[in-house]
Amino acid sequence: MQPSSFNRVNIDLTALRHNYNFLKKQAEEAEFLAMVKADGYGHGMVDCAHALAKAGCTVYGVAELPEAVYLRQSGISGEIYSMIGFDPADAHYFVEHRITPVVYDLASIEALSSAAEQQGRSIGVHLKVDTGMSRLGVQLHDIDNILNAIERAPGTHLAGIASHFPCADDAASATTQQCYDLFKEFQKHLPAGNEVVKHIANSGGTLYSPTTREDMVRCGISLYGYYPEGRNHIPEDGLRPVMSFTTRVVQVKTIPAGQGISYGHTYVTTKPTRLAVLPVGYEDGFSRKLSNCGEVLLHGRRAPVRGRVCMNLCMVDISEIDGVGVGDEAVLLGRQGEELITADEIAGWIGTISYEVLCMIGNNNQREYHN
């Protein structure tokens, strides 16, 4: 038995599987790749991948090779894509652990070829092309050289071509179609008769641009219950948030008018004020930017953060909420009664996106999984 923290990050695996099934229907005939990078967007890569496997998922995506190897060693038997490149000295791991590499340069192709030959195997690579993200990927004027290099490299073959949308979260943006048109231009350079997996649609592409789904879609943020454009209202038959975050009141006090609160006294009371002290702070992913603007739920009502969020503590105003006592649950992310605080709402308070909020909270706390 280990001592427990006041703070709880709860992961609802039933909601995760619901989102998977909902998105699978949206994807229609396209294969579904579940993005579990960034430790499952803060939800726990291994636990989420195994829950998705039970729901029927067979394809997963991570950012870096170490994530992919760890996922394979955890018992995931499906296809695992490593998306952002690798040190050429580590190429042999792709062959040994049956990991699918996404490549965008000659050095990676040469390293994979050498590793495959040494182990007497063949490895399929997916070529990343740049269709407007200006991030990783081969540009159109270099496509023939790269394709020729893959064809000449013993032990490797072209298994797929991939890109990424920069503006798919905006359903009204013309950029998505422009990027997709360029993706089609890249495909014209593929060898005749070479059947490869084509994929470009992320969560936004999957939900809002059905013509871009191609052979496979790659869903990340939507898998965890959030719409990519930051929509705050979540319909009951659509996506469901998977993560919630709670803590407990450790002290209740009344302070007089004119009293400063927390570091720097950035908030000074104008009347006698009842405060609940919560054992959560920026160490726990409850951002310091929530100082004097964030809210939590207590007894099903909203309590505003007063003063600066500390490393391990913060204070909220409960002057308008009767009966709050030590040990009462405070919800920082999630539902309590009729009220709901989403990662999108928190993101709005601190000027970021739901992705970062989930990663900050989920990766800074012990998680508990529920079915």
Per-domain residue ranges for the chain?
13-224, 243-370
> How far, in Å, CA of 217 to CA of 203, rounded?
8
Domain spanning 13-224: which superfamily? Alanine racemase (3.20.20.10)
166: amino acid identity, one letter: P
> Are the beta carbons of 123 and 109 closer than 8 angstroms?
no
Of 54, 184, 253, 263, catalytic: 263
| The predicted structure's pLDDT at residue 235 | 56
> How far, in Å, CA of 35 to CA of 43, rounded?
12
CATH 3.90.580.10: does it fit domain 243-370?
A: no
| The predicted structure's pLDDT at residue 366 | 92
Rg (CA), the chain: 24
**Using N-to-C axis directions, what is the helix angle for 106-118 and 143-152, rounded to 10°?**
10
77: amino acid identity, one letter: S
| The predicted structure's pLDDT at residue 350 | 98
Of 20, 24, 37, 93, catalytic: 37
265: amino acid identity, one letter: H
Residue 32: CB atoms within 10 A of its CB come to 20
> How far, in Å, CA of 292 to CA of 265, rounded?
11
Convert the pLDDT of each residue in 36-90 to its tens digit: 999 999 999 999 999 999 999 999 999 999 999 999 999 999 999 999 999 999 9
Handedness of CA 339, 281, 250, 363 (dihedral sign): positive
Please indicate whether residue 355 is annotated as part of the active site: no
Please indicate whether residue 208 is annotated as part of the active site: no
Convert the pLDDT of each residue in 230-251 to its tens digit: 876 555 669 999 999 999 999 9
Q: Is 259 left (phi over 0), alpha (psi -120 to 50) or beta?
A: beta
Q: Is residue 341 packed enough to be buried (19+ CB in 10 Å), middle (13-18) or exposed (0-12)?
A: buried
Instruction: Considering only the C-alpha atoms of the chain, give the largest distance between any 2 of them, rounded to a whole number of Å.
Output: 79
According to DSSP, the residues that pair with 103 across neighbouring strands are: 127
Per the document, the length of the chain is: 371
Residues of the chain predicted below pLDDT 50: none
| The predicted structure's pLDDT at residue 232 | 62
Helix (H) or strand (E) holding 5, with range, is none
